[in-house]
Chains A and B, each alone.
Chain A
Amino acid sequence: MEINETKIDPFTLEIVKDSLLATGDEMFIALAKTSMSPIIYEVLDYASGLTDAKGQLLTQGNGVTGFIGMLSFMVKQTIKKYGEKDELNPGDIIIINDPYGGGGSHLSDVGLVMPIFYEDELIAFSANKAHWTEVGGKDPGSFTNDSRDIFQEGLQFPSVKLYDAGKLNEGLVEIIRANVRFPDLSLGDMWAQVAALKTGERRVKEICEKHGKEMILAAINDQLDHGETISKQELTKLPKGTFTADGYVETDGLGNGPFPIQVEVTIDDDKFTCDFRGSSSQVPGPVNCSFTGLASAVRTIFLAITNPDQNVNDGVFRPLEIIVDERSIMSAERPAPTSNYFETMLGCADLIWKALAPHIPHRLAAAHLLSVCSVTLSGLHQDTNEPFLIVEPSVGGWGGADGQDGASGQFCILDGETYNVPVEVAETRYGVMLDEYSLRIDGTGAGEYIGGKGVIRSYRALTDEQAATITYGRNQYRLWGTNGGFEGSVNEFYIHKASGKVDGPYGVYPRYALQKNDVLKLMTATGGGYGNPLNRPAEQVVKDVKNEYYTTEEAKDLFGVEIDPATFNYQELDVRK
């Protein structure tokens, strides 16, 4: 490597790397602060970062884990389409959301890519990808759970220039404005994305000016090698061998399913291979996931297991290998609908997780809610008569693990620095009131370390003709426990109508019509337990009962502890001995 020849100072190198990371952070924050959409500024459903001139990820700021690595695929597609033909210019910005060709997720996630030139040489790319509240398509909020092909899911941006050498493509902006339901939101987010990319460009140029092009290029190489070194060191600590798991994607939203999926994970000293062959082929409904999405799922679990420094770059993933059949449910191709790709992506992550959980207890846990549990609710506000649109994921229970209870009320693994919408904010903005936002207590997830609780969130419609599109995956198969821990529960929802009638439970349902005072009761799953519940310390079980996490009956039946509900005196039963 060049470093040795030119004797680059190791500390300057470190400082330049640090400046690149700081640039990534800055771009990330800039986008959240200027976005127009709750899905971006509350859910942080976006990612931004820098890649090298070849599209290798250097630094990525993530709000959600699910986008890990997707930026590189966008940049590589840009290089393939424009770069290789020498058609990239300073000031270009490319827009891309095609799930199969570089986008990787669904049409709602719109990516922007900007080449960064210094002294006429392409040095790097800045890129980001954000969930737009609207990209058109058949349903408000665009991503839907019963589309039959990609064309119903919204506008497609197949890697085209939004800016050509700094000049805005006005026609494209007009097309967007005409095709989406909330153009101010979507375009507002687009301008925020553009501003963040330009910040990245400016900072990279400043680093070049300060330290010279050679230094930054050396730092880029060093950064990638650093990532690989750390990954490989972690790999040597993992158990070696082949581990398998199978499971299901429960439904495609059109009533088909369940669809079997499987994995064979092979770990050796310098490779981590995930073979998904034999899984279901792509399906009619919108749960299909493209290869890019699959790669992100595998990367997520790989990082969870190797748990390196959070400064993730493409070097970290060099030991990964993914094998999959063509046109499978996790490597879908055009024109398969992909709106709810994340449910299959989660299923794939869960397979690896489940295969390795018994072998790597210090890094893994029992199953968590296993669904984004997305909710789309639209209608009119009762006071302003203006349309409102809620697009949000839901929190649920995480699994117990060796040495710790599962966390209650957390977003799934594909989300991350994601924030639920405060009740007071929701009631101000949307035509709803909340009857409750509480922990769901259902007696499941028992273990030496218990599963975290799911939650109940009840929306009361304050106007007629509201429409709820709910995608609560993992509605049939209860969450798995591990090492003797009990299963958790499932995600489900009910509708308590104003008439007194109760409808449900449902998991996935498109456009359920709500009338005034109907209550949509959303319930997420309790996580799986870890270890035999009889081994949970009796004093802890007493506390659980006092805190109303379990009942006295459950304490007796599941944990073998008999508790007097008035005094909280207790007695350990023979079954514990």
Chain B
Amino acid sequence: MKYLITDNTSGAVRLEDIPELSYEAFYDDLAARLSEPRYHVAHYFAVPSGDRMRFYCLLLDDAEGRILVTSHAMEYYDATALPSLTARHAQMHPFERDITERYGIRFDGQPWPKPLRFPADRYDRRSSMDNYPFYTMEGRSLHEVNVGPIHAGIIEPGAFRFICNGEQVLHLEIALGYQHRGVERAFEETSNRLRQACLAEAVAGDSAVAHALAFAEAIERLTGCQRPAQLDRERAVALELERMAMQIADTGALSTDVGYQLGQVACEALRTMTINTTQAWCGNRFGKGLVRPHGSNHPLTAEKSAMIRRNVGEIARRYEEVRHDICSSPSLLARFEQCGVVPRDEMLRIGGVGQAARASGVARDIRTTHPSGSYAKCLRHETIVEQQGDVMARLVVRCREVLQSARHIDRLLAIYEEKYAATENPCGVPDYTAPLQPSTLSFGLVEGWRGETCHVALTDAAGRLATYRIKDPSLHNWLALALAVRGEGISDFPICNKSFNLSYCGHDL
């Protein structure tokens, strides 16, 4: 047994049940599996415990909906370098870089040995943003353009270093890690579960529901309690509302960047309508406070459900008109088509996830491959895939997902109105005190609007949350952006960037 096999509907796994391989066996097996497109790594991280360092790996099998958990270990002070998996499978790069940065573990033959996010407790304190080893090229006709880390507009910090030949971009390097937030550490330092839930919502402000949901699922696995089905449905409604709001906002942002005013104002209005619907439901436009472990403080009522259905129907109808305008406007198509192409095999190689991967023909969608909650029961979710991998494909995926989400919400609320409209809070109330199983690994795997969001929680022998690890989909997809702009004009970088709309804070945990 090289792997412990579980899935997204099963409970937590005890640490002692997770097989511990030798690094050679781990390396050989993972390298072989990752050559198949059906596998990708959801998380790979190291945890020091006493005088040992144990490395856990969660591997997702898209074809059969399995989650394969395995581990390998070494002595804490063992300084031997491990052969790098990144050298064979580029998708491992953020994980290996993170392990190196945190614990000083060396990977032999790592082709991109650079710091990832400069956490405050990093192993090598001499490594800082000031001496980040940017890639350079020599040539009389080349020039470098540095954008950021401070940007025009109200966005987060990140440095983009372009190497250009005239207007053409030859290489883009994205250096993140300006925020040093210590989010994972903050989870481990408090035992107040309400505070942890609020932290989860703050991991990435635009994916508050997705992260809160991943946290809630991880905790519920650890307590071992069953959720009422209605709670799952309400969470799915919240998640799909967030998806709609963000996909509409990004449609508007793409219109802004090409100077198409009508699309911009229409989408801004629709996005406001969507987030105001969330606000009317739970009091916060981004759905903060809506998802809590074991229950809900804002259960649906018949009036709220009717209001959400009405608004979502109206938004979907009006958005469809905007979509039609955008897809039939030659000046917009000329900007979006054949721009920022990421071919399917490159997307697979770097382990892209979420809607960016789906736009490149990689059908990765947790809702289909590893369904949990309502997605496993009352919804039949079909993954939306486009093949071209350009800005237009990413826009089309967004457009189609908005309409699909609207249908899902309608279906979930219809079930609610049929069955529960008369029941007082069928979801139950949140529980922040339920004891956690000791020495257990648990995960939350959610398809947020940006893609696969994975939280992993490890408890110690006393049942306290000892280690908390978060993976935002941006971690993989930033590299896709760097690849997308290769060969493009530098002036097309902003629309490529917007078409991915990746999270800085989700990366700089």
B and A form one assembly: no
